[in-house]
Structure 1
Amino acid sequence: MAAASKSGKSPEELLCSAAESGDAEAVAGLLSEGADPTHFDSSGLTPLMHAAAGGHAAVARLLLEAGAPWNALSPTGFSAGDLTSDTATYDLLLDHALRSELVLGTVARRQAGSANSSDGPPAESYLESRVSFSEERVMDAESKAVMMKWEQPLMEAHARAVCSGGGGKVLNVGFGMGLVDEAIQRYKPDEHTIVEAHPEVYARMLKLGWGEKKNVRVVFGRWQDVIPQLGSYDGIFFDTYGEYYEDMREFHQHLPKLLKPGGIYSYFNGLCGDNAFFHVVYCQLVALELANLGYSTQFIPLPVKNCLSEETWNGVKQRYWQLDTYHLPVCQEESEPE
């Protein structure tokens, strides 16, 4: 650690000041002398946040190269990417974040860990816990929302996307409240397969008559276990609860066998729904990884601000969505027209 300066300020305080003013030469010098780029100042901001807020891309680059965390959060929950309005700085942060997440995947794991029980693997903890049902939501045993009624317009849009080819065979992984499945049924698919792993949700599905619908096939179990029972589909929607980003990545590895040529795949895009910059990072990350499998991804922006009010979250332990816009993913083979 570098020694304090003659001004009485620590090297880290000087680093924050230099970053805020965009003095790249001073920043480089302080870093070479050992100033800590991960430091939080008295306002809870890092040097990178100061550089980003000022739109100083050159300084931001120096700090990132020195190990400054792109995903550090201020006391108000903003990252450096949220604080900048400068295009060059934003693009620099986004590129660095994507490269970091491709290697480490830290943000989604952090969010999944905080959103689910820590008493074991999240999916297993959820599947072994009790759930409660109401007209407005399905809740887990920790008062966290599995699905909520406010999502209905989103689920209708997802159903429209995966059923855009008309008729055919459609797969939905994760029933929840059945919002997307009710919407899918309105398109009268030839075959509608639903995979649900939670025993109480499954029992409720049967009680509501889903097992008796002529074109519906209900498969009980974790998707990882029932994959061999599935066929190929014209449309697929994926929306599980209690799983990590890595679980969705694993599901994507099965898409070449599950999704028919020309078919449409979509998923509930709730990754990092409490931070705008992190959300963009994960939209791009999923698109990159799907591209490696031969799929192109479009994100359709849907305003959701009017769907949510303070009352929406009454009784809910954690707000899993806090953004004004939902980016609905539509994925299909690269060779298919957009």
Structure 2
Amino acid sequence: LLLVQACRDGNVEQIAVLLQATPKPDIHYVDPETGATLLHDACGSGSLDAVQALIRIGVPWNSVDFAHKSAGEAALEAGHMDVYDALVQEGIRSELLLEAVSRHHDDEDDDEPPKKKTKVSNAEYLASPLVFSEGRLLDSERNAVMMGWEHPLMIHHAKVIAPKPGLDVLNVGFGLGLVDKELQKLKPRTHTIIEAHPDVYKHMLEEGWDKIPGVKILFGRWQDVVPQLETYDGIFFDTFGEYYADLKEFHEVLPNILRQDGIYSYFNGLGGTDRFFHDVYCQIADLDLQDMCIQTEYVQLDLEALGDEVWQGTKRPYWSLNTYNLPICKF
């Protein structure tokens, strides 16, 4: 409790003394009522020195409380931007370090016989039945795959990747077809759609997408249909049930399918329920795209607050921020 109070006070000298005490204090202490960690307390105090001291001794940068609020969000709410920015940089450093370690282990395994990749990140989703209901697409566990509130965002995404008529565009992940309907309004020359879920594919055929001039549907996971892809003026990516590693893997394909003057964008739901995590992963995505010689500009769009009624009947919300960083990516 003395250490908790020292963190709340931002008293870095007292923190240093207590960390040397015997017995050692529990650096992973969690408030039994709120779930706040020592890092939450230090972030609330505004002491950058205290925050950095806790990070150095191993308190996780991505600590969250029982309400799933990050320590970074606690700093932001308290108005301590220097602390917030420092934690964002720590998050980026830690994630890139983990990635480098993982890549090193993969390189060590190169001497072994190659193994066919059998794990499919969204296999469970692809095998589950989907429900189209009142402008929402839900899976069997009532996870929201896509929702109508995204429509204004999809209007912007479509205009970004197809700024004029007569272009060749690619969309990875049909869902409710929101971005595809907007792309059709912009009169592309060709419009290729990749969709992996059989229920969505069936829905597309029922709506007649296979009969629209210029539209080509590739049914399957994007990883499996890459050999069928050509080059495009505009590309949009929005899959479900995949992870950031899958998004990064797609980014590694971009140099082969995006034309030199083309534009790429993706649904930027990274960390969509916590501003801190969102900012960390936006910058990580930016850095990873730089490795592909692609630069990213984030255009910030204001969103109306999504009330509880929007998520009624779903398992959990996947977005709660009041701004959206729309990525515009070019060579």
Q: Using the TM superposition, give the Cα deviation of residue 88 of structure 1 relative to its aligned residue in structure 2, in angstroms.
A: 1.6
Distance (whole Å) between structure 1 residues aligned to residue 204 and residue 236 of structure 2: 18
Show structure 1 runs of 5+ residues with no match. Answer: 1-12, 106-119, 334-338
Matched, 1:21 2:9: yes
- Judge conservation of contact 1:305–1:323 (CA < 8 Å) in 2: no
Matched AA of 2:146: M
Q: Which moved more, 1:36-45 or 1:279-288?
A: 36-45
Partner of 2:88: 94
Residue 198 of structure 1 is matched in structure 2 by 197
Deviation for aligned residue 1:182: 0.2
Question: Paired residue for 1:50, among 21, 26, 41?
Answer: 41
Q: What count of residue pairs does the alignment treat as equivalent?
A: 306
**1:47-196 matched pairs, under 5 angstroms:** 47-84=38-75, 85-104=79-98, 122-196=121-195
Q: 2:194, 2:217 within 8 Å by CA — same for their partners in 1? A: yes
Describe the superposition over 1:5-44 as per-residue Cα deviations: whole angstroms up to 9, x where unpaired.
xxxxxxxx21111111121111122223332322113442
- Code of the residue aligned with 1:331 in structure 2: it is C
Q: Report the equivalent of 2:29.
A: 39
1:34-58 per-position Cα deviation (integer Å, ceiling 9, x unaligned): 3232211344222211111111001
Summarize deviations over 1:259-297 as a string: whole Å, max 9, x none: 111111110111221111111111111111111211111
- 3-state secondary structure, aligned to 2:204: helix
For residue 110 of structure 2, what is the aligned residue in structure 1?
none
Q: 1:310 & 1:65 partners in 2: Cα distance?
A: 39
Distance in 1 between the 2:45 and 2:160 partners? Answer: 40
CA distance in 2, matches of 1:59, 1:240: 40
Asked whether the 8 Å contact 1:52–1:83 carries over to 2, the reply is yes
Letter in 2 for 1:322: S
Q: Could you say what secondary structure the match of 1:330 adopts?
A: strand
Matches within 5 A, 1:1-20: 13-20=1-8
* Amino acid in structure 1 at the alignment position of 2:264: Y
> Quick one: distance in 1 between partners of 2:320 and 2:281?
16
TM superposition shift of 1:310: 2.3
Q: Distance in 2 between matches of 1:234 and 1:121?
A: 29
Q: 1:180, 1:135 → 2: CA distance? A: 17
- In structure 1, the partner of 2:115 is none
Give the secondary-structure state (helix, strand or coil) at the position aligned to 1:305: coil
* Helix, strand or coil at the partner of 2:122: helix
Q: 3-state DSSP class of the match of 1:254?
A: helix
Q: What displacement does 1:100 show? A: 1.2
Larger mean CA deviation between 34-43 and 226-235 belongs to: 34-43
Q: Quick one: distance in 1 between partners of 2:120 and 2:271?
A: 19
Structure 2 CA distance for aligned equivalents of residues 27 and 202 of structure 1: 58
Once residues 93 and 263 of structure 1 are traced to their aligned partners in structure 2, the CA distance between those partners, rounded to angstroms, is: 34
Structure-to-structure mapping, 1:220-299, within 5 angstroms: 220-299=219-298
Counterpart for residue 313 of structure 1: 311
Q: What's the Cα RMSD here?
A: 1.5
Q: Which moved more, 1:25-34 or 1:320-329?
A: 25-34
Offset at 1:224? 0.3
Letter paired with 1:38 = H
Amino-acid identity (%): 47
Give a deviation string over 1:206-250, Cα, whole Å, max 9, x none. 111100111111111100000000001111000001111111110
TM-score, structure 2 normalization: 0.89
1:121, CA displacement in angstroms?
A: 5.0
Verify the 8 A CA contact 2:164 2:186 in the aligned structure 1: no
Q: Give the secondary-structure state (helix, strand or coil) at the position aligned to 1:253.
A: helix
Instruction: Say whether the 8 Å CA contact 2:39–2:63 is kept in structure 1.
Output: no
**How many Å separate the matches in 1 of 2:120 and 2:194?**
20
Cα separation, 1, equivalents of 2:165 and 2:3: 59
- Note if contact 1:165-1:234 (Cα within 8 Å) is conserved in structure 2: no
| CA shift for structure 1 position 122 | 4.5
Runs of 4+ in 1 over 6 A off after TM superposition: none
Q: Deviation of residue 185 (structure 1)?
A: 0.7
Give a deviation string over 1:110-146, Cα, whole Å, max 9, x none.
Answer: xxxxxxxxxx855111111111112411111111111
Distance 1:123 1:146, change over 3 A: same
